[in-house]
Structure 1
Amino acid sequence: MSIGTDAYRYWQAKEVRRPDDVRTTTPLDWQVEKYREAERRLTLRHLPSAAGPTGPATAADALTKLALSESVRRTVLRHRGGTVHTALELGATWSEVAAALDCAPDEARAALRAYAEEQRQRHEDDLRAGQNPTGLSPGQYRAALALVDLADHERTPDAEHGPGT
């Protein structure tokens, strides 16, 4: 059995009652799967044959659903800046990114700045600790910040195609 399989089995059996019960490395799809299981039990409780194959709904299901709602929200927000960065690198404009986030382009730019700074710091911390550096190297950091200067409807110069093409 692989480590991934062991980790998944551990996750399936794990009780989640607080967002902090979920490690930051837990894949989003695992979180959503557990959320859906709790949601299904809670939804089925309104049917005449409420006890499905996993048993009747409990308060623990509602707490799991609440805790996972928050954990999923945190996970998505943690990845937001990196996804903004990727979208721009692949040819999205600031206006398109802002529309996807339902915010102003300057708010989207702030997400990229925060992400770039966090990743630059991670790179420096790894180097100081003598570890293989992750995050953004100084050159990658400068390239990420250069994206901030693009006009709202401007695409990256080296992006071959816009979104969806």
Structure 2
Amino acid sequence: MSTDAHEAWQALQVRRLDDIPAATPLAWHVEKFTEHNDRLMNNALPADFKYDVQRGDAGDALAAIALRESMRRHVERERGIRVREAIELGATWNEVAAALDVTPDDARTLLREWADGQRNLHRFDVEGALDNPLGLSPDRHAAVLALTELGDDERAPGAAK
């Protein structure tokens, strides 16, 4: 994203989830959250603290809540794609499951659900006659589902170890 976009983000007042543009990079979320959170943490300092510090207010608390929720949703949306990438790059289902702290079957379910959602996104975009449909084409969807058929310790064909 551009420098201008980042400057606009830095100047943006966040109080609600709807204040946060959908395509905002996660790093920008963290940056803004840290500023609000630091001021809120300063509230725990004694009133006669030796140094001049900015203290948090209700606006900081609301921003922190909205930004935290936006980050949670952002990370949640990326779970499926990161699982797909890990398997395609040579991780096993046991390794992915350990990273997620779930069973291999639960990790497979996560990937299947993500792939199905991406297939639906692609289908809606194609039905809407979009030039560059998002999501997974039927062939790509089938290829992702094939990954779920790998054994717990099996690596994707052609993947590096």
TM-score by length of 1: 0.87
Question: Which shows bigger deviation, 17-26 or 32-41?
Answer: 17-26
Residues 40-84 of structure 1 show CA distances to partners (whole Å, capped at 9, x for unaligned) of 1122333315643xx332121122112211111110001110111
Query: 1:50 and 1:102, CA in 2 relative to 1: closer, same or farther beyond 3 A?
Result: farther
Q: Tell me which residue corresponds to 2:39.
A: 41
Q: Tell me which residue corresponds to 1:139.
A: 139
Note if contact 1:44-1:51 (Cα within 8 Å) is conserved in structure 2.
no
Q: Hey, what's the Cα distance between the residues in 2 that align with 1:49 and 1:21?
A: 36
Counterparts of residues 3-14 of structure 1 (less than 5 Å): 4-14=2-12
- Superposed CA RMSD: 1.7
Aligned residues: 157
Counterparts of residues 78-117 of structure 1 (less than 5 Å): 78-117=77-116
Residue identity in the other structure for 2:122: H
Counterparts of residues 123-138 of structure 1 (less than 5 Å): 123-131=122-130, 132-138=132-138
Q: Aligned to 2:136, what secondary structure does the other structure show?
A: coil
Q: Hey, what's the Cα distance between the residues in 2 that align with 1:150 and 1:97?
A: 12
Query: 1:26 and 1:158, CA in 2 relative to 1: closer, same or farther beyond 3 A?
Result: same
Residues 79-137 of structure 1 show CA distances to partners (whole Å, capped at 9, x for unaligned) of 11011100100011111111111111111111111111111122222222222122111
Query: 1:151 and 1:8, CA in 2 relative to 1: closer, same or farther beyond 3 A?
Result: same
Residue identity in the other structure for 1:118: G
Query: 1:22 and 1:76, CA in 2 relative to 1: closer, same or farther beyond 3 A?
Result: same
Residue identity in the other structure for 1:156: A
Q: Hey, what's the Cα distance between the residues in 1 that align with 2:80 and 2:103?
A: 15
Shift of 1:142: 0.5
Structure 1 residue 19 and structure 2 residue 22: aligned?
no
Q: Tell me which residue corresponds to 2:59.
A: 60
Shift of 1:152: 1.1
Note if contact 1:24-1:75 (Cα within 8 Å) is conserved in structure 2.
no
Query: 1:73 and 1:56, CA in 2 relative to 1: closer, same or farther beyond 3 A?
Result: same
TM-score by length of 2: 0.89
Q: Percent identity?
A: 50
Question: Which shows bigger deviation, 148-157 or 55-64?
Answer: 55-64
Gaps of 5+ in 2: none
Q: Hey, what's the Cα distance between the residues in 1 that align with 2:20 and 2:51?
A: 28
Residue identity in the other structure for 1:12: Q
Residue identity in the other structure for 2:8: Y
